[in-house]
Structure 1
Amino acid sequence: MGNRLSKIYTRTGDRGETGLGDGRRVPKDHPRIEAIGEVDTLNSQLGVLLAGLAEAGITEVSNVLAPCQHRLFDLGGELAMPSYQALNAHEVERLEQVIDTWNEELGPLKNFILPGGSALVAQAHVCRSVARAAERRCQQLNALEPLAGVGLAYINRLSDLLFVAARIIGRRQGVAEVLWQAAPKPEA
């Protein structure tokens, strides 16, 4: 692969616009750019989680999530180049298979859980919540400019996977889930 970036700054965005892969220029607050940015934020947060998993030696979860960084980059490419399609249904199915396998081990939830118990569990929940934000941004874009392909399904399933991953990480660490406790009701 040749050089992709010959220069890091171009000064072409100094007036509040950015270029898409198809040559269009759009405002930096365009819903497409918002979606790309949220997917990029998710990818960065996922990188933090993967670094922590590597340090903790939780390779099973790392092996599942590491390819997701590449697929998020693909999704960003699809968002930047509307006619480009990189993701396919197999990627969504892969996530569903892992969710089913991990859920079988975990069993059903009997209570709401909070994002905590360990730094890794909390980071997985940060990734999950950022995935939901990315999904909302993609849905906003989809309402204006319909998106082709499986990107919306992928980001939805990834947020589900990250929820289950948080639970599996806690289990692998031997950390109890932090169960939600309702606030006491005010007396009438």
Structure 2
Amino acid sequence: MVTLNRIYTRTGDAGTTRLATGEAVSKAGARIAANGDVDETNACLGLARAALPAGSDLDPMLARIQNELFDLGADISTPPAEDEAPGAALRIIASQIDRLEAEIDALNAGLPALQSFILPGGTPSAAALHLARTVCRRAERAVVRLIEDGGAVNPAALRYINRLSDFLFVAARHANDQGRSEVFWRSGATR
């Protein structure tokens, strides 16, 4: 006997979805928008990983980050309660941010100093990482918007997404042959 797994549930046909808490919310709400941008960041990382050369030292980091972005989505989907017991919900934690910072520092140590703004481009993997960075910045803005609209958010979630965009910038530089294939902005060059 064959068991079918249906993808569609029809529960969202009226424009609503459910948070991890079970609360029904609009698919256009700030919390869902933030989660959508986090999901899009994750998809961009999948594209970047597919563009990496075989054996790239960035691949294990990006694979871990893709999993952490699911953690971040779960965190955003579960508004923190004031009386929340530790471990009651999947939350981004300080060690995840610390690891990103250590990786930023390690990758950045091998790069030449910046002399100009960098245009997104260079190698295919660097271009894909720059795309991921810009989508990540949008996700960060969406989380800030959620907070400004009064939505409760784990403070570590905002720190993580902010640090991730920094990581993606440095990773893109690293993927550009350690900076040798970077494309620099030339101010006013086409005037």
Alignment of 1:18-97 (within 5 A): 18-53=17-52, 56-83=53-80, 84-97=89-102
Percent identity of paired positions between Structure 1 and Structure 2: 42
Structure 2 residues not aligned, in runs of 5+: 81-88
Distance 1:52-1:185 versus aligned 2 partners, 3 A rule: closer
Q: Normalized against structure 2, the TM-score is what?
A: 0.87
Deviation of 1:59 after TM superposition, in Å, equals: 2.4
Give 2:145's match in structure 1, choosing from 140, 154, 172.
140
Structure 1 residues not aligned, in runs of 5+: 1-5
Distance 1:185-1:127 versus aligned 2 partners, 3 A rule: closer
Report whether the alignment pairs 1:150 with 2:150.
no
Q: Secondary structure of the residue that 2:57 maps to in structure 1? A: helix
Which amino acid in structure 1 is aligned with residue 138 of structure 2?
A: A
In the alignment, is the contact (CA less than 8 A) between 1:117 and 1:175 conserved in 2? no
Distance 1:146-1:86 versus aligned 2 partners, 3 A rule: closer
State how far apart, in whole Å, the 2-side matches of 1:120 and 1:59 are.
10
Q: Which has the higher helix share?
A: 1
Q: Deviations over 1:52-93 (max 9, x none)?
A: 21xx12421112111000000001011112242332100000
Deviation of 1:45 after TM superposition, in Å, equals: 0.7
Deviation of 1:7 after TM superposition, in Å, equals: 3.7
Q: Secondary structure of the residue that 2:108 maps to in structure 1? A: helix
State how far apart, in whole Å, the 2-side matches of 1:10 and 1:176 are.
47
State how far apart, in whole Å, the 2-side matches of 1:160 and 1:148 are.
20
Question: Which residue does the alignment assign to 2:86?
Answer: none
State how far apart, in whole Å, the 2-side matches of 1:184 and 1:170 are.
23
Deviation of 1:110 after TM superposition, in Å, equals: 1.1
User: Stretches of 4+ moved more than 6 A in 1?
Assistant: none
In the alignment, is the contact (CA less than 8 A) between 2:126 and 2:176 conserved in 1? yes
Report whether the alignment pairs 1:15 with 2:14.
yes
Which amino acid in structure 2 is aligned with residue 65 of structure 1?
A: L
Q: Normalized against structure 1, the TM-score is what?
A: 0.88
Deviates more, 1:124-133 or 1:17-26: 17-26
Deviation of 1:175 after TM superposition, in Å, equals: 4.7
In the alignment, is the contact (CA less than 8 A) between 2:79 and 2:152 conserved in 1? no
